[in-house]
Structure 1
Amino acid sequence: MGRFFLTAMCARSRIGEVNRDERVHDRSESHPGGATVTTPPAGWYHESAGDQSRLRYWDGERWTDYFAPASFWRPPQSTQRFADEPTRPHDISTPNAPRQVRDDPALTRLRKAKRDALVGLVCVAAVSAGIALIVGLASPDPDTLGYEVGKAAVTVLAASIVGGFIGHAFFVQQQTLLTEISVQRDGDRQVQEKLERDRLEQRQADEQVRLEEREADRLAAEKRDREAERQREVWRRQVSEKRAELERRDAILRGVLDETLAAYNAVKKERRMIRTAGGRGIPVRRYAEFGERISDLQLEFERLRRTSPLLTDERIEAAIRAWNGLSDNRHFVSLERGFQQVEEYLGRLVREFETTLGGAAPLREMPDEQSVETATLPALASFRDQRDKTGFYELSNPATAVIAVLIRALLEPEHLPEPEDVRQRGVQVQGRRAQSPG
């Protein structure tokens, strides 16, 4: 019975060695060209003929039932597919050849420990089987050294077999546990990588939004600058046109002022000259010359009266209000009315002159010693008499008012148009003041 048991143990050990050799042969096949193709190590791979949207775990010998999504995984730069490595010119691909994704160092160490333990157990079992076989063939008697050695060898062989099964179960359990841990770790890493990619994409999206906002702000600022420049250009053109208009009006006012001053000064000159002509009588020739000059000046003031309505300058109205505000006794109405008062006063002198010398001989043929009595000329007497406060003042007061109004109008400050932004700020300030309760 002992011999049969030893023989069976040796046969089982031999079968185990043969199976091991076959597995090793399956994992290392010789290529017809002489190259050796080694199956990939354990790790996560894409199935060549399977679903490419997920990964499957390869334990080094066969596919397992562990899967993981492939959308979260990004291969490192050093990872290569075994079926595409250029250093293997005679690589043989099969329909189920996996493509390597990632290998777990813990599983690699576990497989190495399993392989070393298996080799040790096989060696111990082989030695024990050999000893038991030799002892069994010698058929020693009980209670002899050979018999005890054979029994010990059978015990060691049985322990090796049982230890092999136990070790195999332990290694399978550990491999399963490490595989689950690796799957969990890879899943967590993939989720973390996805979250990191999402954060990166969100930061990129936020940065893109900020860039777009800055670009929109820049374009809006450029648009505002262009609009402001356009408004400033419009304002400059308005100011230029306004200044040109003011210069034209100033030239007209200065012309009227110069003509008024010249005519008024000529009237005062004639008054001074007529006072020096004599006391009670005035030579006829001198009176005739006076009448001609007064007639010309009356026509000049008549022309100024007729053209004064053409002076449509708002500064004249402001100057008239300022002139009347200097005294309660001033009631100046307009330039036309002032010129009319001067013209009417000079008109009385001209009509008196025409009445006095209307039927006389030509003035140039009259003798120089002939004179005209001033007592018969009330308008002339009022014109030349300095004591009469109602005579010449009927001319000087409106003439002085006209001259003063023209000068004040020329001295009025220029009211140039304001820029658009200044007007808008003024409107906003006025609006806030109107809304304030105080």
Structure 2
Amino acid sequence: MRTVDEHRAAVAALLKPTPIETRPLAEALGLVLAEELRAAVSLPPFDNSAMDGYAVRAADVADATEAAPVRLPVTTDIPAGRTDHPTLAPGTAHRIMTGAPMPDGADAIVQVEHTDGGPPGGEVRIDRAVAPGQHLRRAGEDVSAGELVLPAGVDLGAARIGLAAAVGVAEVRVHRPARVLVLSTGSELVPPGKPLRHGQIYESNGVMLASAAREAGAVVEQLRFVPDDVPEFLAVLGERLGPGHEDGPVDLVLTSGGVSAGAYEVVKDALAKRGVEFIRVAMQPGGPQGAGRLTRLAGPASVKTQTADYPAVVTLPGNPVSSWVSFEVFVRPALRAAMGHPDSARPVVWASLGEELRSPVGKRQFRRGTYDPSSNTVRTVGGPGSHLLSALARANCLLILPEETERHEVGNRVEVWLL
């Protein structure tokens, strides 16, 4: 029996870093930057107005008050996007919009709210003085040309993509998303929406694991309803993983079900002699696990031919909570690390236990829970059973009960993974 940490290391070792590729900036959301970005231009690239109003020389309106306003002729309009270089003559004003370039000679902006809104060709009445530099955005005050704006290794969220675009970046070098193939096995499985016969259940693991892998940042393909038949299982897998498949290579095959000690454990029977090791892990739920790299799909199982194109395989148990918990513990961090994410683990806090709990000595228990940040306390949702999916849907965390302790008192501090 492996420890949880040993199996996490085994799974992580299977998933190599994904290749680096160039993508248009607009297609890089959620990916990890592989090379640093430096600004090609300053930000802002020119002095511009922070307000809708009037560009002036501050000295010309130094005495303006509501009781004694200053009147200036408005000689031109400067909308955002104007590309010439108008010059502001002393004793005049230019009407200007937010983001428009400052005219030469102007050193301040009067907000339109402190004027009567006079038009170009007329006069504007200004009833408030402004200081030099007021309501101006200076060139380079945010970013200077050549400055490092994003280091390698950061996740590209919306704000970082916006910054990259603002300094003129059109393409970025990023870590390619991992490609994951999800298979659910079981002759009892029926697609949701179809009538159930006695002894059948709706298939949920496949869509759940596919969603979890997408949430982790992977590109996912799902093959559903592989029956409990070894030749058919190998045929389905071999067809997808064969050379030249139109959907390209796969980095990870993720299965659920068929890995325990029953008579119809199709995944275990099919892959045990094809590079996948099946073991038990000292955890609850999720004891039966498998991991490895495929060595062969067709021909006698005893003949192994290591093929570089064959993907890593992680086989998860079939009970839905066991399957999801196993994904969180073993697969999610390995996937995110392979794609270069610096935050491969869930956020962790240590919280006070709000109830007394018991867990089996020798096994690390992962309980569904609700974490209250206001009191820094955590309580379980539902029991420890691996079939209680509704409790999982209500949980906002996993609380971790260590292997060496059976009884956990109210107030004990426990590790909590925030979901």
TM-score range, shorter chain: under 0.3
Higher relative contact order (CA 8 A, sep 6+): 2
Which entry has the higher C-alpha Rg, 1 or 2? 1
Q: What is the TM-score of this pair, normalised by structure 2?
A: 0.20
More helix by share: 1
- TM-score normalised per structure 1: 0.19
Please identify which structure carries the higher strand content: 2
